[in-house]
Amino acid sequence: MKFSTSSVVAIAALAGSAAAFAPSAQSLNRITSSLSMSTEVAEESKKRVTKKEKRLQFMKTETFHRRGFKDVREGVEKSMEEQFKSQLVDELTSNDFVLERDGVKVFLAKDFGFCWGVERSIALAYEAVEHFPGKTVHITNELIHNPEVNDKLHDMDVQFIEKLGEGKKDFSNVNDGDVVILPAFGASFEEMSMMNDKNVDIIDTTCPWVSKVWNTVDQHQKKGLTSVIHGKYAHEETVATISFCEDYICVKDMKEAEMVVDYILNGGDKEAFLKYFENAVSKDFDPDTMLDKVGLANQTTMYKKETRAIGQMMQKAMMKKFGPVDAKDHYWEFDTICDATQERQDAIHELVEKSDDLGLDFILVVGGWDSSNTAHLLEIPQKAGVRSFHINKSDCIGADNTITHRTMAGEIVTEKFIEDWGKDVVMGVTSGASTPDKAVQDSLSSIFLLKKVHAGED
Ligand SMILES: *[C@@H]1O[C@H](CO)[C@@H](O)[C@H](O)[C@H]1NC(C)=O
Ligand SMILES: *[C@@H]1O[C@H](CO)[C@@H](O)[C@H](O)[C@H]1NC(C)=O
Ligand code: SF4
């Protein structure tokens, strides 16, 4: 497993980069000037600072665990290897990411599969279960978007806290002395403070990249900015992020970002605007006053190019409205990029660019259908016109030469898979950050078998 050594280094690196979020002298000036604007604003700002401070306070208590448990580490590493590792994928990586078998030539993307944030989160959760034998262990949500991992947690008797709809959950089964795991996407501020009030041990598996985004929105608030969040408002990661915001608006794609930019520049029908963004804005959101100074933040798993395009559009709008000199006081962006997401997107880009030279028939993207980082990997070949399929398990490849896959529009469709049995199948493959290598192995094995069975047919 890559987990033990590389992740420690990566965590250390993150701790270093977190320091970059310390306000600069310039930003402190801005905070001071916004504080002196009026006492109302000053009061508001004080309130804003405390949410992050409170979170840091929770994290300091003795029952808040973020580093796992050494006593059970070795056993957990072993069982993770058994559960997720793949010999076939290891063979591919050690053979320069190429492999030929049974008339199928496979090119693996150079970065793929489990990111260290996911591996870390699984290890912390498994360790917690082993470390507290006999205790009731709860989890506030799916740990990551992977059914095998969630099934395994069920097997370990971990209780999934029940969702009641409208973002509400039933915490009544959580009793004194229990253990509560917070998933990789993090928990909202309200959930964290509720858990803090209960007498429970908290295992925080939040990926440090996700909490880095929270620090970004905290910086927005200190600067008196409205956070424009590129993300889906119902995604758990976004839910957690917005719980650390005061004023925010979530835009899920370019179209919604264009609506916001249009309102910034031309104003418009406020009621219709608020109706459209009903679930995606903070309480008492006023587009007439709150869109003058904005900061961009994104979900770590969104499509990178789109975030960048949204950022450029916002920046241009502020230039138009306030002039190039003052624009910088009205638009801010911080780099909240997640390395793992970027590397996986870059790697499939590389495959797409070489697809003609390599003669790829298609690219296979393996990962959960509700995993947004996996869905974004599919966008890259799709937008380049390369035949590609997002499948969530090997069963999606049918013995009758069909493939069942999720399209960019989110539909599940089944179609004819291999078009020409008379030649070798040449394919690219990658997998999302929450996809174990085993899932890739199983899918490739199905294709090898399919080709073997049909060998010699036209
Ligand atoms: C997130 O947004 C920042 C700008 O604020 C951008 O530089 C970065 O690439 C984005 N990350 C992803 C994964 O989209
Ligand atoms: C694949 O998707 C189906 C339908 O959403 C789901 O029932 C199943 O658990 C998923 N399996 C995996 C391994 O992701
Ligand atoms: S994809 Fe990035 S943010 Fe998400 S768990 Fe992995 S490292 Fe963390």
Q: 80-127, pLDDT tens digit by residue? A: 999 999 999 999 999 999 999 999 999 999 999 999 899 999 999 999
Report the pLDDT averaged over residues 162-185. 89
Reported confidence tier of residue 384, pLDDT bands at 50, 70, 90: very high
User: Is pLDDT above 70 for 1?
Assistant: no
Q: Which two tokens stand for residue 418?
A: 């291999």
- pLDDT band at 50; cut points 50, 70, 90: low
Residue 166 pLDDT exceeds 60: yes
- Going by C-beta distance under 8 Å and a sequence separation of 6 or more, which residues neighbour residue 400? none
Q: Where are the beta strands (DSSP E) in 274-352?
A: 294-298, 331-333
Among 191, 236, 237, 246, the one annotated catalytic? 237
Predicted pLDDT of residue 237: 84
Q: Once rounded to an integer, what is the mean pLDDT over residues 277-292?
A: 94
pLDDT in tens, 55-73: 888 888 899 999 999 999 9
Q: What is the mean pLDDT of residues 289-302?
A: 86
What is the 267 CA–ligand 3 centroid distance (Å)? Answer: 37
Residue showing tokens 């591919």? 92
Strands (E), 239-308: 248-251, 294-298
CA of 300 to the centre of ligand 1 (A): 8
Q: What percent of the chain has pLDDT over 90?
A: 61
Residue 321 confidence (pLDDT) above 80: yes
Position 336 scores a pLDDT of: 62
Distance between CA 374 and CA 288 in Å, rounded? 36
In degrees rounded to 5, what are phi and psi of residue 204?
-95, 110
The most confident of the ranges 16-20, 120-124, 142-146 is: 120-124
* Percentage of residues in the chain having pLDDT higher than 70: 88
Answer yes or no: are the C-beta atoms of 421 and 435 closer than 8 Å. Answer: no
- Provide the pLDDT confidence category of residue 133 given band limits of 50, 70 and 90: very high
Give the confidence band of 298 by pLDDT, cuts at 50, 70, 90: confident
Ligand 3 contacts CB of residue 209 (under 6 A): yes
Q: In 10 A of CB 107, how many CB atoms? A: 22
State the distance from the centre of ligand 1 to the C-alpha of 382, rounded, in angstroms: 21
pLDDT at 6 over 70: no
Cα 299 to middle of ligand 3, angstroms: 10
pLDDT for the residue numbered 33: 31
Query: Does position 404 have pLDDT exceeding 70, yes or no?
Result: yes
Q: Return the residue whose CA atom lies nearest to atom 10 of ligand 2.
A: 392
Residue 164 CA, chain-centre distance (Å), reads 23
Average pLDDT, the chain: 86
Are 173 and 161 in contact by the 8 Å Cβ rule? The answer is yes
The yes-or-no verdict on residue 254 having pLDDT over 80 is yes
> Which atom of ligand 2 is the closest one to the Cα of 148?
13
Pick the atom of ligand 3 nearest to 144's CA: 5
Least confident among 81-90, 264-273, 325-334, 436-445: 325-334
pLDDT value of residue 58: 86
Number of neighbours of residue 360 by Cβ within 10 angstroms: 21
Catalytic residue at 379? no
What is the predicted pLDDT for the residue at 185?
87
Question: Ligand 1: which atom is nearest the Cα of residue 307?
Answer: 14
pLDDT tier at 337, thresholds 50, 70, 90: low
For residue 22, is pLDDT > 60? no
Set out the domains of the chain in order of their start, with CATH numbers: 84-115+340-454 (3.40.1010.20), 116-206 (3.40.50.11270), 211-337 (3.40.1010.20)
Instruction: Identify which has the larger pLDDT, 398 or 212.
Output: 398
pLDDT at 12: 34
The structure tokens listed for 333 are 């962006």
pLDDT at position 46 is 55
The confidence score (pLDDT) of residue 18 equals 33
Confidence of residue 26 (pLDDT cuts 50, 70, 90): very low
pLDDT higher than 60, residue 10:
no
H or E element at residue 196: helix 189-197
- Report the predicted TM-score, pTM, of the whole model to 2 decimal places: 0.76
Question: Given a cut of 80, is residue 27 above it in pLDDT?
Answer: no
